[in-house]
Structure 1
Amino acid sequence: MPAKDPMKSFRGVMAGVLVLEAITVGLAVPVVARLGGGVGTFGGWTVIAVAVALVACCGLLKRSWIVPVILALQLVLIALVVSLPAVAVIGLLFLAFWLWALWLRRDVARRMAQGRLPSQQRPAG
């Protein structure tokens, strides 16, 4: 195990992206109010619930089941494509980021297991 845990750093990145995504989804609420039939509709409440759930996920990042929950929240946003296409685009963009980030995490875990991380190398000298 390296002196610095790269997975701890990854959780920090995840928390930051979750907050940014929650803000982005929250900023979509006025769009829902104007184009989606209002905030009091199913779509409006769903967007608000997803934004709150994204913030709540920040506190649960140490749990092993949180990544599927985050991906499920992306799918909820994408499922709104019929009634709120703009919100679905947000879901697609963040889903692409999460898939890329998970690929990176898997690559780092593989390199850590092989002992190829820079922090695992002995200093020359």
Structure 2
Amino acid sequence: MREKATAQSVAEAEEVEYGPLGPGHAPAKDPLKGVRGVMSGTMMMESICFYLILTVILRVDNGIHWTPVNWGYITVVATAMLILSFLQFTRWAIAADVIIQVFALIGIFVHPSVAIIAFIFIAVWAYLFYLRKNLIERMKRGLLTTQHM
């Protein structure tokens, strides 16, 4: 009896609860395209911030952190972010976004200011992923206005 109740509750959990207007149709314009644009802009801003970190490691502490390894690492990570900002339409972009955040966080070994910027952008990316997930769920439930026009 318990197995039957569990199977029934699993089936109810998998059932999609549609909005009051029903599932609707596919939106005329892809809403995820806008999300990808925001993600691209965010990655572009992050790359600019990382390029600006070069001036921080040059000027703070009389340039003690200005070594070829340190400025090379920051330059490579910032350039990878810049390139990735133009590739947000690819299937692997989200995985690459997460991986580049790990490399940004590793920058704490270059200078503590890198970790501060990395934590700020990790929070921004977590919020963007939450918004993306929420948009996909709303599309499945038919809650977007453009699905009923």
Q: Give the TM-score normalised by the residue count of structure 2.
A: 0.75
- Distance (whole Å) between structure 1 residues aligned to residue 37 and residue 27 of structure 2: 17
Structure 2 residue 130 is the aligned partner of structure 1 residue 103? yes
**Which of 20, 39, 44 is the matching residue for 1:14?**
39
Which residue does the alignment assign to 2:87?
A: 60
Deviation at 1:120, TM superposition (A): 1.3
**Gapped regions of structure 1 (runs ≥ 5):** none
Amino-acid identity (%): 30
Deviation at 1:39, TM superposition (A): 4.8
**Which of 29, 43, 48 is the matching residue for 1:23?**
48
3-state SS, counterpart of residue 108 of structure 2: coil
RMSD of aligned residue pairs (Cα, Å): 1.5
- Distance (whole Å) between structure 2 residues aligned to residue 83 and residue 48 of structure 1: 12
- Tell me the alpha carbon deviations over residues 81-116 of structure 1, each in whole angstroms, 9 at most, x when there is no partner: 244110111111101100110011011001101111
Contact 1:3 1:119 survives alignment (8 Å):
yes
| Bigger relative contact order (CA 8 A; separation at least 6) | 2
* Residue correspondences, number: 121
Which residue does the alignment assign to 2:100?
A: 73
Deviation at 1:21, TM superposition (A): 0.8
Q: Give the TM-score normalised by the residue count of structure 1.
A: 0.88
Runs of 4 or more off by more than 3 Å in structure 1? none
Residue 44 of structure 2 aligns with an amino acid whose one-letter code is V
Larger Rg: 2
Contact 2:47 2:82 survives alignment (8 Å):
yes
